[in-house]
Chain A
Amino acid sequence: MSSKPKVAFFDFAGCEGDQLQIINLEEKLLDVLSQVEIVSFREAMKEHSDKYDIAFVEGSITRKSDEERLKKIRSQAKVLVALGSCATIGGINSLKNAWPSLEEVKKRVYGDKAHYFETYPSRGIDRVVKVDHYIHGCPIHREEFLRVFKALIMGVKPYLPDYPVCVECKRKGNICVFEKGQFCLGPVTRAGCDSRCVSAGSHCWGCRGLIDDPNVNAEKEVLAKYGLTVDDILSRFRIYDDYRYEEIKE
């Protein structure tokens, strides 16, 4: 048996953009590969093995039948890492959850073939199995993947910020999105992305999910001050993190 940890990548409902980010590590990917043995990575190779230590799982769970496959992965893996927003918090797939009926959603997507497909509200994989570590983001931040990856091969707990994006924005010297008269989910969203979107001129969309103790009431108040209606605010909260939002909105 090789002493290198065996690593596998899996995906559920999602665009596989997070695995693509890993392939996009380019020359650093070679260093990553030299530390571990990749036994399954559909995005990049044909071979597959069910013997692995670390499983990275991308994508959300959006139908009952996916649960079994995920549980099997969990039972094989010593360490299970949720990779990207869909896996960590349900992700953009959660948009459908806000529709009045999922039957309608199916019809919208599959038309007269809808009855061939099953669906249920999109959720992060931790709604189904225990998750050891999270790499948030839509897509994931390559540097953060490397940080978590290194921590795992060193056998330590990866660092995950529990403060909002504002911290990284301020360290970068960004002009606050609110000061420009726009809205932002930064004050309640978990940092770790290096405030990518705001630094690039946009606002925070909340793709990394809410921090552990978000002050949602204050955020609502602030957003309202900037002229957003309750519906606007709700829809912004729900783009990526419908489940968590449903829980904390009371």
Chain B
Amino acid sequence: MEVRVLIKSQLSSLIDRIIEHVPVVGVKQKEGKYVYAKLDQGKEFCPDFDVTVQSPKEFIFPPRETLFDFTLGKDMQLNPHYSKDTLVIWGVHPYDIKAINILDAIFRDTHQDKHYLMRRENTFIVGIDPLRASEKSFWSSMEADKVDKGFDFILTDLGDEYIITIGTQKGRDMLDKHGVSNLASETQIKARDRVREKQKDLCLSNRKLNFPLKMLPYLLMKGEINKLWKEKAEKCFSCGSCNLVCPTCYCFDVQDEVDITLTRGERYRVWDGCLLENFALVATGENFRGEKYQRYRHRFYRKGLYLKKKYGQFACVGCGRCATACLPDIADPVDIFNTLFNSLKGVLIHG
């Protein structure tokens, strides 16, 4: 991968030049937190954020997205909607890039989702290696402290300059166009690698899985005892917050909306969550996960086992957003997976 270099003080003017050509959303401060929002000027970008409230998922998989519009009556017409808008997302941490890679795999699989893929194709991902980790982060344990794909280019802060590692031709073209052409030296590349090696130490020491990650699916397979799930789920609001802030959760509901003349309308999808009470309810009244603990359990299994089986990747990147969002504090994967490990240690050693 080609590596370039940019003097740090030139970053905001680079963003300014890009904004002239294409809309850029980037990390900004809001009420003491960080969020992705439209950048009007390069200097608004906060490079030293710990984590954003929502992941950049919303820009490639919007919370509400029209799938097609239609006319009603004798001669029905159906017209699918695909976004053609180009967007740059400026400042995505490796764990969130990894999450996007997981979404890519899911929406590319078998029946390709053109709505997602078009948007994804028109989105530039500008990564940034983290300088800080949030209080709840545990991305090191999820092996998401660095990424080698999924970005168009990624910035690494070396103090006085940014090392820019190019990931795609699209990224290279953008840098060429805006005059970022200086190649990084061997020494600079080595310095970047050293910085990246240290990134995994940014997560707090108490935010670690106490076992090797590859053991996680086995833990879950052995841990189907419902005691833990029932105990924790007692406090669950069924509010779906853990789902809705997750950068890899992609479940959706589909609904129709007609306009007031009842002659046309649209079908749209909207973010859903498997923790919500009626997620598995069918029209005949049967709820296939009617109990809180079943829904609560399902999420952890999906993160650590089901999607791993299906797509070969864990559907958790350790961003810690669920742990932050959950008011009764029962959604933290570190807590649950370590508890599971502790309760099964004996079984695993002897079994």
> Real complex partners, A and B?
yes
- Interface residues of chain A, those whose CB is within 8 Å of chain B, are 28, 31-32, 34-35, 146-147, 149-150, 153-154, 159, 162-164, 166-167, 170-173, 175-176, 178-180, 186-188, 211-215, 217-219, 221-222
Interface assignment of B284: CB less than 8 Å from any CB of chain A: no
Minimum C-beta distance from B72 to chain A (A): 10
Interface assignment of B278: CB less than 8 Å from any CB of chain A: yes
Q: Is the CB of A222 within 8 A of B245?
A: no
Q: Is the CB of A150 within 8 A of B258?
A: yes
Of B30, B32, B328, the most chain A CB neighbours within 10 A belong to B328
Chain B residues with CB under 8 Å of A176's CB are 241, 325, 327
Q: Is the CB of A164 within 8 A of B237?
A: yes
Closest A residue to B31 by CB, please name it. A175
Given contacts A159-B255, A163-B276, is CB(A215)–CB(B238) below 8 Å? yes
Q: List 28 A-B contacts (CB under 8 A).
A: A34-B261, A35-B260, A35-B262, A146-B260, A154-B262, A162-B277, A163-B238, A163-B240, A163-B277, A164-B238, A166-B241, A167-B240, A167-B241, A170-B241, A171-B271, A175-B31, A175-B53, A176-B327, A178-B327, A211-B277, A213-B277, A215-B235, A215-B328, A218-B234, A218-B328, A219-B237, A221-B235, A222-B327
Given contacts A163-B240, A187-B237, A187-B239, is CB(A179)–CB(B260) below 8 Å? no
Q: Is the CB of B262 within 8 A of A153?
A: yes
Q: Is the CB of B260 within 8 A of A150?
A: yes
Chain B residues with CB under 8 Å of A167's CB are 239-241, 244, 273, 276
Closest B residue to A213 by CB, please name it. B277
Q: How large is the interface on B (under 10, 10 to 19, 20 to 34, 35 or more residues)?
A: 35 or more
Interface assignment of B324: CB less than 8 Å from any CB of chain A: yes
**Of residues 32 to 71 in B, which have CB atoms within 8 Å of A's CB atoms?**
32-33, 35, 53-54, 58, 63-64
Chain A residues with CB under 8 Å of B118's CB are none
A170 CA / B331 CA spacing, docked (Å): 15
A172 CA / B262 CA spacing, docked (Å): 28
Minimum C-beta distance from A73 to chain B (A): 25
Q: Is the CB of A163 within 8 A of B239?
A: yes
